[in-house]
Amino acid sequence: DGGITQSPKYLFRKEGQNVTLSCEQNLNHDAMYWYRQDPGQGLRLIYYSQIVNDFQKGDIAEGYSVSREKKESFPLTVTSAQKNPTAFYLCASSIGSPTPEENTQYFGPGTRLTVL
């Protein structure tokens, strides 16, 4: 089955620790995205990558880091510098921007991170 997988589903972190959230896709999509969702709010973009070995900051990149060493994988690290990391994290992918009018994003099931 083609799709996007995120792991783990639930993650608990102590203050001061770095944690890494996994995102894998087998859709052969070029672009991948990380969003953060807080209760009662829409999704906010953390980082995105249009191609392997390249990524760009989104609206709320501070305290986060990413890598894109493989087309299929786009892990997100939540560092200790992120002051309020408790949230629901969603990964998405899309074909890319050759035809932006038609381009839709496909989402993974999400990871809920809780800081203890």
Partner 1 sequence: KQEVTQIPAALSVPEGENLVLNCSFTDSAIYNLQWFRQDPGKGLTSLLLIQSSQREQTSGRLNASLDKSSGRSTLYIAASQPGDSATYLCAVRPRSARQLTFGSGTQLTVLP
Binding residues (CB under 8 A) for partner 1: these are 4, 6, 31, 33, 35, 40-45, 48, 50, 56, 58, 88, 90, 92, 97, 100-110, 112
Residue 42 CB, nearest distance to partner 1 (Å)? 4
Residue 67 CB, nearest distance to partner 1 (Å)? 19
Residue number with CB closer to partner 1 (16 or 100): 100
Residue number with CB closer to partner 1 (19 or 90): 90
Residue 80 CB, nearest distance to partner 1 (Å)? 26
Q: Are 8 and 31 in contact (CB under 8 A)?
A: no
Task: Please return the burial class of 101, using the count of CB atoms within 10 Å of its CB with bins 0-12, 13-18 and 19+.
Answer: exposed
The letter for the amino acid at 51 is I
Closest CA to 86 of 48, 46, 37: 37
How many other β-carbons are positioned within 10 Å of the β-carbon of residue 20? 13
Residue 16 CB, nearest distance to partner 1 (Å)? 27
Residue number with CB closer to partner 1 (17 or 56): 56
Residue number with CB closer to partner 1 (15 or 101): 101
Q: Are 1 and 102 in contact (CB under 8 A)?
A: no
Name, in order, each residue with C-beta under 8 angstroms of 40's C-beta and a sequence gap of 6 or more. Answer: none
